[in-house]
Structure 1
Amino acid sequence: MSGVELKTGSYIFVRGNMEGIFRVDWQKPMVCLRSENIRKKLKRQGIKGPEPTVLYGNTREMKRIKEGLKIVQTQDANNYLSSVFPYLLLWRETYGALEILHVSDPEMVKDIGHRTPSELGKPNYLKRSRKALFGGGLFTLNGDDWAYQRKLIAPEFFMDKIKVLQKYLPTSANREIRKLEEEVRLLILDVIKEHNNSVDNDLLRVIIDGAEGRQLQGHDAEDFIIGNCKGMYFAGHGTTAVTLIWCLMLLSTHPEWQEHARAEAVEVCQGGATLDVDALRRLKIITMVIQETLRLYPPASLMMREALTDVKIGGLDVPGGTIIQVARSMLHQDKDAWGPDAAEFHPDRFANGVAAACRPAHMYMPFGHGPRTCIGQNLAMVELKVVLARLLSRFAFVPSPRYRHAPVFRLTIEPGFGMPLVVTRL
C-alpha cells in the first residue's frame, strides 16, 4: 500500500452498480479497456474485489447473491443492509475490506468531502440512466454548468427564503420512457408559459431568468429549465415523502416517542397557530425524530461520485474515471461511530446535535457531503416538521396487521409492500 495503512473493509472494487443497470456502453468501445486499466491501478495498491465479466461486470453475481437469500425482516429490524445490499457485506468479508470503488472508511469518506467539484463530480452514466427523471439540470451536471446552476439556485433554499442505462433500442420499455418524458416536458412547458405572465419572484422565475442570462454549453434554455424543474420535483418531492413514511412507521412502532412528539406538537400547534420559523425551532423532539429516521432510512442511500481527474483520497491514488460509491446506510449504522445500539431507534442520540451524536460527525450524511451537499435540505426539514406536527396533533398511528417490513432499494430506500397504518382521529 506504498506505506499507507487503511482500515480493513474500507473499500471494495466492483464493476456494476447496485441494481445492475451499469452495462457496457456500445457507443464507447474503449470502456472495457479503461475499466481494466482502472482495475490494475487500484490492484497495485492492494484493492481487491470480485472478478467481473466482460459484458455484465459484477451485476449478475449481485443478483445471484441476492436471490440466494432467505431473510425475514421483523417489524422492529432497522438493520436491513443484509437484505438490501448483501453483496457489499459479503464482499467486505471476502476481500478484507469503477468501475465502482466502494468506500466506508471514515477518513476516506471525510476526504471525499474535501475534494473540489473539479476533482469529484456526478458519474457520467447517471446522465444517461437518469435523464428521463432529472433531465440535464443541476443534479447531473459537472464543471462550469454545475457551478453556475448551483450559484443560481442554491440561494432560493437558504433558510431566510424558506421561512436504468438504455442501449437505445426501440423496446416497449424505452418507447414508454420516451412517451412519458415528452408528456412531462409538455406539462412543464405549459407551467412555464403560464408563469411568464406572472410577476412572482420565486424559484421558477429564478430558473427561467437564469436560463436567459447564460450561454449554456450544449444546452438550450428550454432544456435548462425543464431539467431543473424535473430535478427539483423528483429529487425533492420523492425523498421527502418517503422520509415522512418512515417517520410514521417508526413512531407507530415506538409509541413512547410518538407520545413525546405529540405532546410537543400539540403545545406548538395549539389553536391552529401558524408554524413560523420561531415555532419550528421549538419542535426539538420532532427534529430529533426526523434526524434519527434519516439516519436509519436515508432516502438517497448511495452517494455516487466520479473522479474527473486522478485524485488522492485517504492516501489511495484513485485514477480518473473511477466511480466512487458511499453507502450512507452502512455509515449510519456503523457501530464504531454510533455505538452498539446503532441499528435501534433512539432519537435522543441527537439531543445535543449531530456533532455529539456520532464520532466522527461526517459519518452522518443524509443530505450528502462536501461541495455537492443537497441544496434543499433546509426546505426538506421544514416540510417534514410542519407535516409531522400537524399530523401528530390530530391523529394517532399504530402499525396495521397487514404491514410487512421489507425495505427495498429502488431509486430510494422504500417500504417493499407499502406502509399500511391504523389511524385514529384524536
Structure 2
Amino acid sequence: MLSSPGHPSIVITRDSSIPKAFLPRKRMGGFDYLLKIAIGIGLILILRWVWKMVNWVWFQPRKLENQLKKQGLKGNSYRFMYGDLKETFRMRNEARKNPIPFTHHFFSRVFPFLHQCLNKYGEGFYTWLGPVPVIHITDPELTREVFTKMNEFRKPKLNPLIGLLAPGLVSHEGEKWMKHRKLINPAFHMEKLKLMLPAFGTSVKEMMNKWEKIVLDSSEVDVWPYLTSLSADAISRAAFGSSFEEGRRIFELLKEQTELTLRLFQSVYIPGWRYVPTPTNKRMKEMNSEIQKLLKGIIDKRKKAMEAGEPAKDDLLGILMDSSMKELQRFGSPKQQLGMSYQDMIDECKLFYFAGQETTSVLLVWTMILLSKYQDWQTRAREEILATFGDNQPNFDGLQHLKIVTMILHEVLRLYPPVVSVNRKVYDHEMKLGNLSVPPGVLVGLSILNTHHDPKIWGDDATEFKPERFSGGIAKATKGNISFFPFGWGPRICIGQNFAIVEAKMALSMILQRFSFKLSPSYTHAPTTIVTLKPQHGAHIILTRLQGSE
C-alpha cells in the first residue's frame, strides 16, 4: 500500500488483471541458471542418443532392406535389433549336438542357417547380423574385387571387446596398416623363417617324446591337445625365444578370451555397453590387462638387452624390434610417427601368439585326421619324406621341395580352412560390386568354406579329398580364379601364411618319420567353429611306432 499526506492510499494486489511485466521479479541465482542450461543440454544429448539408437536399430535397417530388395536380393525380413542372430545360434547349437558321418560335405553343420538361406533364396541373398545386413557372395570375380579394393571394403568394427582377442595388424586400416605391414614383413621373409626351423624341430621332438612314452607299440591317442600345445610352444620359441611353459599363462588366458568372444558374437553390441561393468566385460578387461602385462615383461627384457649392446635375436620379436628401430633411425622422426609405439608392439605380440597358434594347430589336426582316413596318401607322403631326408631332421631346402606333402596341405586347407568366412564393410559411400550397389553400412560376406566346396568351381568331386588337383600348383587348380583363399587374398593376405606352412611341413615330416596312424573307432567326426574350424570331440587316432625310429 502506497500513501502520502493529502492523497488517498493506493493498494497494489497480485490481481490477474495486472500484467506480470509490471510486477517485481524474483532474481534467478547464477547456480540455478547454469543448472537449467546443463539440464537442457543433457536432455538434448539424451534425445540425440535416443534418436541415433532408434535410427540404428529400426529406420536405418529398414531403409537398407528396401535398397537391397530393389536390386533383386532376397532375405528374411528384418527383426528388431537381433535380425537373424537368435535363429543363427539356435540352429548352430542344435547342429553341434549331433556328429555326422565321415564326410567333407559339412557346410550344413558349421553354417546351418546360411545353408537354409542358400537353399531357400539361392545365390545373391542377405542375412542380418543384428541390425546390419550382410550380402553373401561366392562369385570369384566379385571376391577378387572385394579383396582388391581394401580401402573401400574394410574390416568391420563390431564389438570393441571382441577386438581385444586379436589386435594389431589384422585390425588396422589405412596408413597405420601400411606402416605396420612394412615393419613386420621382414620377420616373415623366407630367409628369416629358415632361421626359426630349429625351434620348430625342438618343439616337435618334445611332443613326439611324450607320444613315445605312452605308445610302446600301438595306442589310441587324442592328438588334438598335443598339436595345440605343439603350435603354442613353436610360436613361443620362434616368436619370443621362450618355450610354451614360459608362455603357458598367456595361452590359458587366450583360450578363455576365445570362449568369451564366442558368447559376445551371439549378442548385439549396443554402443557404450563395453563401459558397463558386467561380469563378461570385467573379465575380458582383466584378462587383456594380464596378457598385456606378461607381454610387456617379455618386451622390456628384450629392450634392455638390446640397449646393453646385445644384437637383435632372429626370432619374430627381435626382428620386429630391429625393423622398428631402424625405421626410426633412418628417418629420425618422433617415435609416434614412425616405428611402433610400445602399445603397438604389445598388440602385435599378442596377435603373434593367437594367430600363430590357432592356424597351425588346426591345419595339423585336420591333416592327421585325413591322412588317417586316406592311408594311400599317408604312405605316399612318408615315402617322399624318407626319400628326401631319410631319418635326419628335415632341413629348410628339402621342405621347400616336398611336392606331395604340399599338395596334401593345400587340399586340407581347401576342405578344412582354418578361418571359414570373412566379412568386409562399406563405410563412407555407396560402392559398386558387379551389378550391385552396396550402400554404406552394409557388410559383404565371403564364405571361404562355401567357395572351397562349390561344385560349380571345383567340379562334382568338390567335397572329395583329392590332393592331385594341386599337382600343377594353386594357379592351375583354380584356373586363375579367386576360389582358394584359406589365408585371405590381395594386399591383406595373412602375413604369417608361410610361417604356418613351413611349421606344418616340419611337424608332419617328423611325425611321418616315426609314426604311422589311422582313425580310431572312437573318433567322432564333428567339425565346428570356435573362431577357427576345429574337431569338436578331439582327434582320436591310433598311433603306431615305426620300426627303426628312435
- TM, length-normalised to structure 2: 0.68
Letter in 1 for 2:163: K
User: What does residue 147 of structure 2 align with?
Assistant: 113
> Cα offset for 1:381?
1.0
Distance (Å, rounded) in 2 between the aligned partners of 1:352 and 1:406:
31
Letter in 2 for 1:79: H
Give the conservation status (yes or no) of the 8 Å contact 2:519–2:541.
yes
Residue-by-residue CA offset, 1:298-336 (whole Å, 9 max, x unaligned) = 001112211233221122111222221111110001011
Alignment counterpart, residue 175 of structure 1, candidates 282, 292, 295:
282
User: What secondary structure, in the 3-state scheme, does the structure 1 residue paired with 2:105 have?
Assistant: coil
Distance (Å, rounded) in 2 between the aligned partners of 1:66 and 1:194:
45
User: What secondary structure, in the 3-state scheme, does the structure 2 residue paired with 1:361 have?
Assistant: coil
Q: 1:425 to 1:84 in 2, by over 3 A?
A: same
> Cα offset for 1:52?
2.6
Distance (Å, rounded) in 1 between the aligned partners of 2:432 and 2:385:
48
User: What does residue 158 of structure 1 align with?
Assistant: 189
What are the ranges of 5 or more consecutive residues in structure 2 without an aligned counterpart? 1-48, 124-131, 195-260, 329-333
> Cα offset for 1:220?
8.6
Distance (Å, rounded) in 1 between the aligned partners of 2:94 and 2:318:
51
Alignment counterpart, residue 378 of structure 1, candidates 492, 498, 515:
498
Distance (Å, rounded) in 2 between the aligned partners of 1:26 and 1:231:
36
More displaced stretch, 260-269 vs 169-178: 169-178
Distance (Å, rounded) in 2 between the aligned partners of 1:35 and 1:146:
30
Distance (Å, rounded) in 1 between the aligned partners of 2:512 and 2:340:
46
> Cα offset for 1:35?
3.3
Residue-by-residue CA offset, 1:333-380 (whole Å, 9 max, x unaligned) = 101111111111111110011122234531000110221111111111
Distance (Å, rounded) in 1 between the aligned partners of 2:507 and 2:294:
27
> What CA RMSD, in Å, does the superposition of the two structures yield over aligned residues?
2.5
Distance (Å, rounded) in 2 between the aligned partners of 1:204 and 1:423:
36
User: What does residue 291 of structure 1 align with?
Assistant: 410
Distance (Å, rounded) in 2 between the aligned partners of 1:221 and 1:376:
22
Letter in 2 for 1:176: R
User: What secondary structure, in the 3-state scheme, does the structure 1 residue paired with 2:75 have?
Assistant: coil
User: What secondary structure, in the 3-state scheme, does the structure 1 residue paired with 2:280 have?
Assistant: helix
Distance (Å, rounded) in 1 between the aligned partners of 2:482 and 2:336:
34
Letter in 1 for 2:115: L
**Bigger helix fraction:** 2
Which residues in structure 2 correspond to 1:173-252 (within 5 Å)?
173-196=280-303, 197-198=305-306, 199-202=311-314, 203-208=316-321, 210=324, 213=328, 216=336, 221-252=341-372
Does 1:125 pair with 2:245? no
Q: 1:147 to 1:280 in 2, by over 3 A?
A: same
Residue-by-residue CA offset, 1:42-81 (whole Å, 9 max, x unaligned) = 2221112112322212111213444565854112x11110
User: What secondary structure, in the 3-state scheme, does the structure 1 residue paired with 2:534 have?
Assistant: strand
Give the conservation status (yes or no) of the 8 Å contact 2:61–2:78.
no
> Cα offset for 1:205?
3.7
Letter in 2 for 1:148: K
Give the conservation status (yes or no) of the 8 Å contact 1:337–1:359.
no
Alignment counterpart, residue 79 of structure 1, candidates 105, 109, 133:
105
> Cα offset for 1:157?
1.3
Give the conservation status (yes or no) of the 8 Å contact 1:249–1:399.
yes
Does 1:281 pair with 2:406? no
Alignment counterpart, residue 61 of structure 1, candidates 87, 99, 118:
87
Q: 1:124 to 1:215 in 2, by over 3 A?
A: farther
Q: 1:352 to 1:411 in 2, by over 3 A?
A: same
Distance (Å, rounded) in 2 between the aligned partners of 1:407 and 1:399:
15
Alignment counterpart, residue 441 of structure 2, candidates 321, 324, 330:
321
Count of equivalent residues:
396
Residue-by-residue CA offset, 1:166-218 (whole Å, 9 max, x unaligned) = 6324333333222221221111011001111142154324544638946659x
Q: 1:28 to 1:350 in 2, by over 3 A?
A: farther
Distance (Å, rounded) in 2 between the aligned partners of 1:256 and 1:274:
22
> Cα offset for 1:40?
2.7
User: What does residue 12 of structure 1 align with?
Assistant: none
- TM, length-normalised to structure 1: 0.86
Q: 1:231 to 1:35 in 2, by over 3 A?
A: farther
Distance (Å, rounded) in 2 between the aligned partners of 1:365 and 1:266:
30
User: What does residue 416 of structure 1 align with?
Assistant: 536
Distance (Å, rounded) in 2 between the aligned partners of 1:419 and 1:143:
41
Alignment counterpart, residue 134 of structure 1, candidates 166, 183, 191:
166
Give the conservation status (yes or no) of the 8 Å contact 2:312–2:319.
no
User: What secondary structure, in the 3-state scheme, does the structure 1 residue paired with 2:501 have?
Assistant: helix
What are the ranges of 5 or more consecutive residues in structure 1 without an aligned counterpart? 1-24
Does 1:96 pair with 2:215? no
Give the conservation status (yes or no) of the 8 Å contact 1:145–1:216.
no
User: What secondary structure, in the 3-state scheme, does the structure 2 residue paired with 1:73 have?
Assistant: coil
Q: 1:192 to 1:387 in 2, by over 3 A?
A: same
Distance (Å, rounded) in 2 between the aligned partners of 1:225 and 1:359:
40
Distance (Å, rounded) in 2 between the aligned partners of 1:44 and 1:423:
58
Letter in 2 for 1:144: E
User: What secondary structure, in the 3-state scheme, does the structure 2 residue paired with 1:424 have?
Assistant: strand
> Cα offset for 1:28?
6.4
Distance (Å, rounded) in 1 between the aligned partners of 2:114 and 2:164:
28
> Cα offset for 1:421?
1.3
Give the conservation status (yes or no) of the 8 Å contact 1:262–1:389.
yes
Q: 1:225 to 1:272 in 2, by over 3 A?
A: same
Q: 1:28 to 1:160 in 2, by over 3 A?
A: farther
What percent of counterpart residues are identical? 35
Which one has the largest radius of gyration? 2
User: What secondary structure, in the 3-state scheme, does the structure 2 residue paired with 1:363 have?
Assistant: coil
Distance (Å, rounded) in 1 between the aligned partners of 2:51 and 2:362:
36
Give the conservation status (yes or no) of the 8 Å contact 1:118–1:308.
no
